[in-house]
Structure 1
């Protein structure tokens, strides 16, 4: 796997940069920067300062304008900050121009997410997926700084007359990408065989934004020890457990979390991991109701799910972390309309959220409202289970309360 530049130094000070365009509010920009700061912390850095600029569109040469760029350069020199992170994917030319102007390590949101994925990958499958995405991101951004990959390759005809080292590196990376795709295809075939071997059991998949508590919910439902941590992308590999609610068994899968501006290369590389979502019979869409931007997170997940699989299937909206929900009560003398931050949990339940046909407010950590939650899952699983195993369903219903066959 590629050694990412941002993984070489721990707890390094970083500067965060975002551009506010007309279609995005300042509140949204601040939320994006909050998330970028969380990503930086997850990668082992310390967000030190933020810079934003109002532009019709990002500058095609340096992302921000000349004046703002000089302001950033001066700040980084004074405070000896050696790393800067931009909240959008930089084009190859923007990256080159910024490195030349700033003379520090320049990362974008995509590079940062790839770095975190590289740290989190545990299995051969996840490592191969991440490495493929890294090389696909790197290929168009090659500069002379990457010629450490390999100086020369042996073999007659492998290096044309007058060919530059950068072209040799490009060929090396293309070869690596081709090999990784072959490796990934073999692993995907093995995993597809594993899924087929599970038979006709009902499949339930936990989906949602990153860090909403899917792994915690998985642990409580399956009584397992799936790694759960208050950091982004704590789970990369799909974990599948057999769960039994009352008398009905089903398979529960914990999947990788989604995020705004998820790198295209990662979506492509992780398609096989997301097969668990495609093949699921029921989706548990977990939402962190305590997050101020949870409605936008719902939109991101819904959009991503539609790209992965547009087939209609039962979906239960699970509003998690009710124990962490906070709001600011509105002053009785304040006659202005109530804002989102003034809504209590009971207020939310009276909105469209609480009126969904399959919707539940819970706390996976403290098991709040868990009996009702398990009943909802049981009812949905039983509908599908009864269709696939009508004889078993007949037997279940044939036992009387004393456990005797009638």
Structure 2
């Protein structure tokens, strides 16, 4: 296959076909693409196979370009999900950025870096943080200069990045984050792996100390660090609250402006993910859908205090709208038909399905519904979810009693215990124990 931008469609077709191959053959195609990652015509191919790569998670070849963008990995979005004005970066920008930047880096730095990387384990985050420091320092300076050049020369901008000014905003975000790359990587190593849930007191102190030090060095460094950290947290509002509690460098007005800007970014990113839920739902099961709804609800709950403190009616309206949207999503994708799916799984006649698989699926549906019940008060759908749970309990009890009236045997016992497991998930162990005693008495 020859090179050239004209072959981009051909590479994308190859990638689409490879995604349907067995794992071994697919990974061989991936290795081929990895060797040609720097070529612009193969970028679309990577977007095509990204879902399969996310599933398989093959070892990734260490490359200087990948190390350079490592500090910004938490603020990257796929092109289809990218939205402007959130200080995030589309993956589509990375390849043209690196092509323009590579020749502007100090002579020999890329070759020296690649030689060093060949001796390092790609999973050794601590070693990568040390090796990457000179690359991030030089890269941020080169990217600053590149932005000066393209903003002064429209022809150069069009040649390198096209006419869209938003690309330059994304490059500025890359520069701001990479500039403090060593601090970003040190924070990642000191904090729990993402997604970060509740922070221990020691972790809170680490974050506060980092914010204070960055603010004293340069108030402009605090924002990029917080942008990355909020993207790694399930409850980004916790970080906004910490920001209120520390004294940064600069004026109080600068801190208030940072708090307002970061709050808008955090809320905007949660709203973006909310709007993406339906697109992701097509390939997700009930447990994944419930986990998505739980994560977004938890994130919105965490920003309540910050949004109220800003007294921004428009932002408050957007947060309330997002809650309603998540509630409708839960009702539509989890609650609506869960009774039919669950009862069909428990009492359906399909003998070809493995019994263990049937009970696993029933448990999965019940667990998703229980998680929805926990979210319901926050989403304004408590009445609908409670009604669905009560209806399912009634039908499970009725269906089980019908089974118990049949011929006694191991199959009847197995079905009874499957029903008890579902009741235990939805109503608790006390209710399951009560039914067990009653059903045992009837079967005897």
Q: Same fold (TM over 0.5)?
A: no
User: Which of the pair is proportionally richer in helix?
Assistant: 2
Larger radius of gyration: 2
TM-score by length of 1: 0.29
**TM-score, length-scaled by structure 2:** 0.27
Question: Between Structure 1 and Structure 2, which shows a larger proportion of strand residues?
Answer: 1
